[in-house]
Amino acid sequence: MYKIEQKDFGYYLTFSGFIKKEEMEEWYKESLALLEKAPAHFGVFADLRDMKPLPAESQSVMEEGQKNYKQKGMVRSVVVLSSSIPTMQFKRIAKTTGIYQWERYIDASNNKDWEATGINWIKDEIDPDAK
């Protein structure tokens, strides 16, 4: 399951469960339509806490989607996860698509304030990785 919500900072994406290629393609098409009306610069918050690892065919669609978000004006993004395999997948995807330097990863199991931490990165560039 996925959901896209517009927020004052940009887009809040939620993915949960097992996302097959067909559903990922629906997300991709819906994202394309939304991005046609996107502001010049925006952030993306991705809540993947309840998502299962992505199959390879879904990963390739996600890669194209990430490229589109970046090309349309994404300046920063945050990905909130709670398991190691999706974390590894999304770091690899971000490196492949060229967004890694603008993306931060938050382990929700170790950060009770994961949502505020992510929004602080998107809105105010407060790096959750800075010690």
Structural domains of the chain ordered from first start: 2-124 (3.30.750.24)
Q: Give me the percent of the chain exceeding a pLDDT of 90.
A: 91
Strand pairing class (74-81; 2-7): unpaired
Question: Chain-wide mean pLDDT for the chain?
Answer: 95
Q: What is the pLDDT of residue 24?
A: 98
* pLDDT interval class at 130 (50, 70, 90): confident
**89: pLDDT strictly greater than 80:** yes
Residue with tokens 């920063």: 76
Is the Cβ–Cβ distance between 89 and 55 less than 8 Å? no
Q: What is the pLDDT of residue 131?
A: 65
Is the Cβ–Cβ distance between 75 and 43 less than 8 Å? yes
Round to the nearest angstrom and report the end-to-end CA distance of the chain: 34
Is the Cβ–Cβ distance between 100 and 118 less than 8 Å? no
